Structures are given as C-alpha cells and as structure tokens.
Amino acid sequence: MNKNNFILKLNSVGKYFLAEAGMKLNVLEDINFEIPVSSEGSITSIIAPFGSGKSTLLKIISGVIEKDRGEIFFGDSQSSNKNIIPLIPEKPSSFPWLSVRQNIKFGFNLTENKKYNLDNLIALVGLAAYSDHYPDNKSCGFRFRISLARAMALNPSLILIDDSFKQMDLESREEIYKLIYDLSSSEKLNFIIATTNLVEAIQLSGLIFLMSAKPGKIVHRIETGGKYSPEMRNLKSEKFSSLKSEIEEAFQSVHSLKTINYSV
C-alpha cells in the first residue's frame, strides 16, 4: 500500500556552480514541486528554455550530482528500486560496444529486482527483430528505445528523459511519444521529461511544470487533464489551443523564455 501520495517531492532544491571569478552562479533556486502517485503511470514535463538548468535538475533527481540546498523525497510506489532513477540524456546513450540484447542485459545485471524477462522487455520497446543489432549508426529513435529498455530493466519508480526527442525526426518522435504513453499505461511507469518543446509537453504530459531561467525556478504548474489524450494530440482542438495560450502567457510574464520552441 502507498504510504505517501507522491512519487517525487522537491522542497526548496537549489544548486549553484562556481564561476571563474569565484562567484557563485545560481543555476537552480528554490525548486518546489510534487508529482502525485498515479495508478495508471504518469508523464510529467518540465518545460524550460535552453540553459535554464533543467538538465542539472534531472541530474540532481537522478543522484548523478549533488544538490546544494533543499530536500528530495521519493514516495512509495509499486517499484521497490527507489534508489536508482535512470536518466536518458539528450543524446540517447545506448552503448555502441554492446548489442541491443547486451545493452538491455547490462541493466538487468545491475539489479536483483527484476520485473521483466529480457526477451519481453526487448519486445516491449519494439526491438524484437533487432536484438542482435548494434546501435552504432542507428537512428536516435532506435538508440532511445535501447536506453529506455535498459532503464526499465532496473524496475525504477521513475525514469527521467532529458530532451532526448529533439534530435529525432517528426515521424520517429510520434512513434516514441506513443511508446512512452503505452509503456506508462501498461507498465505503470512514471516519466519526467525535460523539454524545450511546448507542443511535445502538452501532447504527452498529464502534468506540466514551467521553469524560468537564470536561475532555474518553477514558475507555473498546469494539469492537462490526462497524458497523451486525443484532444491534446489534436493541434487544432480547443483545449490544446487554450492550454498553449495559457503556457505562452505564463512564459511571456517571465522574460527568459524566448528560446521555447512553440512549433511542432
């Protein structure tokens, strides 16, 4: 049974880097947000301009780098592997020296808590026909699927995706959106996606956080009413348009958000 009603909760998280002159450069300031537990799996987006510190935020959540201030809580979820929060970086990082199968097995070897069978997992991400292929020279979408399956092999409570879709063509992106939605729903997986793409965030997510830059700060929280809903996928729908306007208005009130990609 769930003890907490959140998957992830950040309380006043902050991070600074030391600039060359020895001055502290605030990258993240007072980040507060909570991702509620969802029985159907959740997709949350953090939309922010370039250089706002969203990658830093994901690295902190993942435990790759240390925060300087605040607290992070991981709530109870169906997964018991709460300490490992895999992060899929901007360039999907399937290891080129391992085949698809070996890459995913790499993830399996890091955990005792196996939820999937290797072959099933390969099939789940749509790579059953390519299990002996190597990711070198393969498309971004292909490499993303490997990284995703490798992350899933650890049976984590949360998977972080750092703007990995922006290097994919539109068709691949649509396929990957669908895959993420399907996995989130069927496997009850929770995703946090950091993105600069407004449309992507609206289409995919049930919950969106807007983040300002310099320093990175959560400035707005929007519930879309459901992840990957048909209404949100229809760019001409009224709901999509009103949500887009709401986000644009929220962004216009903060000047640092000019690099948001408002197109598809």
**What is the binding site for other proteins (CB under 8 A)?**
59, 62-64, 83-93, 95-97, 106-107, 110, 134, 136, 147, 150-151, 154, 160
CB of 8 to other proteins, least distance (A): 15
Given its phi and psi angles, is residue 65 left (phi above 0), alpha (psi -120 to 50 degrees) or beta? beta
CB of 237 to other proteins, least distance (A): 36
**Cis before 89? omega within 30:** no
CB of 161 to other proteins, least distance (A): 11
The residues near 71 (Cβ < 8 Å, ≥ 6 apart) are 10, 11, 12, 13
Rounded Cα gap, residues 179 and 124, in angstroms: 9
Q: What is the CA radius of gyration of the chain?
A: 18
The residues near 222 (Cβ < 8 Å, ≥ 6 apart) are 207, 208, 209, 210, 243, 246, 247, 250
CB of 137 to other proteins, least distance (A): 8
Of 221, 216, 228, 224, nearest in space to 257 by CA? 216
Strand 217-223 and strand 207-212: the pairing is antiparallel
- CB closer to other proteins out of 67 and 150: 150
- CB closer to other proteins out of 42 and 147: 147
- CB closer to other proteins out of 16 and 134: 134
Taking the chain, what is the end-to-end CA distance rounded to the nearest angstrom?
A: 40
Rounded Cα gap, residues 206 and 78, in angstroms: 19
- CB closer to other proteins out of 110 and 235: 110
CB of 110 to other proteins, least distance (A): 6
- CB closer to other proteins out of 66 and 238: 66
- CB closer to other proteins out of 64 and 129: 64
CB of 54 to other proteins, least distance (A): 14
